[in-house]
Amino acid sequence: MVRQPSINAQHRPPLSTERIVDAALRIVDGQGLGRLTMRRLGDALEVEAMAIYHHLPRGKEQLLDGLVAHVAAAPAARPSPADAAAWRDALRRWARDYRARLVEHAGVLPLVVTRRNPPALAETTASLREIMRLGGVPEDAAATAAHTLLGYVVGHAALEVRGTPRPGDADEAGAAASTADWDRRFTAGLDLVLGAL
């Protein structure tokens, strides 16, 4: 029986930034941000924690930046030329998608919401302004609208997370609002905001 050079080197995909961030996101979604440690992340990847630093030289800071980028990346699907007049519907679709992604990864929300990153934020608002520019909305009205809409979406997602008891806490079936309540509230508020633009 021929001895393998290493148990691991054979049937394990090599480490990569993408695999690392994916594993980190899985830990955060499943166990919460507080349980994301370099050592646990190493375990999940079947690697010593220190191997991660070879791919993320800035360490945990860079890992958290990667999580934010993965969740908050703004793929504001630009409307096809034919739809240009329907910019309001395009904004509505974008808002619903963005909110869904934020709430789905509630554990990352504290990072998305407050990590200082002016360039990433500028990119998001720019893509919103582009939708409105194609729809013929004046520049400065579009700039205000972009910040207002993004603020509402991000803020409401935060309220939803804040207003939902942790699974396993008390009063889970008590006075707390249900998912359906939050859906309704988000839609109602979104209609208000879009109507005002």
Partner DNA sequence: ACCTGAACACCGTTCAAGT
**Spatial distance between the Cα atoms of 130 and 139, rounded to a whole number of angstroms:** 9
User: In terms of CB distance, is 88 or 185 closer to a copy of itself?
Assistant: 185
Please report, as residue ranges, which positions from 74 to 113 form the binding site for DNA (by CB under 7 A): none
Q: Note whether 39 binds DNA by CB under 7 A.
A: yes
Q: Angle of helix 87-104 relative to helix 179-196, nearest 10 degrees?
A: 150
Q: Note whether 168 binds a copy of itself by CB under 8 A.
A: no
Q: Which of the listed partners (a copy of itself, DNA, none) does 55 bind, with a CB threshold of 5 to 8 Å by partner kind?
A: DNA
Q: Angle of helix 87-104 relative to helix 118-134, nearest 10 degrees?
A: 150
> Binding DNA by CB under 7 A: which of 14, 118, 167, 195?
14
Q: Note whether 161 binds a copy of itself by CB under 8 A.
A: yes
Site size with a copy of itself, rule: CB under 8 A: 46
> Binding DNA by CB under 7 A: which of 32, 59, 75, 155?
59
**Spatial distance between the Cα atoms of 143 and 130, rounded to a whole number of angstroms:** 10
- Tell me which stretch binds DNA (CB under 7 A): 41-49, 131-139, 148-156, 159-167: 41-49
CB of 14 to a copy of itself, least distance (A): 32
- Tell me which stretch binds DNA (CB under 7 A): 30-38, 82-90, 103-111, 113-121: 30-38
Closest CA to 32 of 129, 138, 106: 106
DSSP per-residue codes, 120-188: HHHHHHHHHHHHHHHTT--HHHHHHHHHHHHHHHHHHHHHHHHTSPPTTSTTTTTTSPPHHHHHHHHHH
